[in-house]
Amino acid sequence: MQQLLALWQNRLVQQIFRFAVVGGLAFVVDFGLLLFLTEQVGLNYLVSATISFVASVIVNYILSITWVFTANKHKKASVFQIVMFFVLSTCGLFINNAIMWFSVEILAISYVIGKLVATFVVMVFNFVTRKILIEGRKHAKTVAAIEAEAAALTPEELPEQSANATSSAAATTTTTTTTVTSSTASEHSASK
């Protein structure tokens, strides 16, 4: 029981739980509004899907900022983050509507089934693209910062162990290159 309590007190576990709750609420908004607008109001299923998708994205974004990712609440979103959010959400909307249209017009199945498939596909799309574009960009910045810092250091400033490892690697490379060059020269002479 104590392990379970300790796990629950982990901030990452709490954040994952909150993220799941927000995702579930956004799905309820999306699916519920789609059904309401199509069945009760009488809108075309694609118009309903567009409105419900946009509403769920807004709910997801607001709740994510205010409840899930609270550490970033007071930080100003970068232009890149805002643009990527808009671009990825627009792509998700097109994927959503394309799958729904294909499901209804080509496969002749219910728009409800099409929406369930579209929701899954867009969820995977969102996860993969955000992982690649946002985390990949952060990783690239981190690597660039480390490389820039390392380039600014002189060999005397490098830690002794690191300098020894670098010297050892350079010696190994030189030995390997010399061995390969000698082998290649011997083979070249033997072939004449």
Report the half-sphere exposure of 90 (CA within 13 A, side-chain side): 6
* pLDDT given for residue 16 in this prediction: 82
**Is 27 exposed, middle or buried, given 0-12, 13-18 or 19+ CB atoms closer than 10 A?**
middle
Mean pLDDT, each 10-residue run in order, the chain (192 residues): 78 82 94 98 97 94 78 64 84 97 97 96 86 65 58 55 44 40 40 41
* pLDDT given for residue 182 in this prediction: 40
In a domain, 17, yes or no: yes
140 and 168 belong to one structural domain: no
Domain of residue 98: give its range: 2-152
**Is 19 exposed, middle or buried, given 0-12, 13-18 or 19+ CB atoms closer than 10 A?**
middle
Crossing angle for the helix pair 111-130 and 45-63, nearest 10 degrees?
40
* pLDDT given for residue 166 in this prediction: 44
67 and 104 belong to one structural domain: yes
* pLDDT given for residue 14 in this prediction: 83
In a domain, 157, yes or no: no
* pLDDT given for residue 142 in this prediction: 58
184 and 135 belong to one structural domain: no
* pLDDT given for residue 18 in this prediction: 86
106 and 13 belong to one structural domain: yes
Number of domains in the chain: 2
In a domain, 174, yes or no: yes
* pLDDT given for residue 111 in this prediction: 97
104 and 125 belong to one structural domain: yes
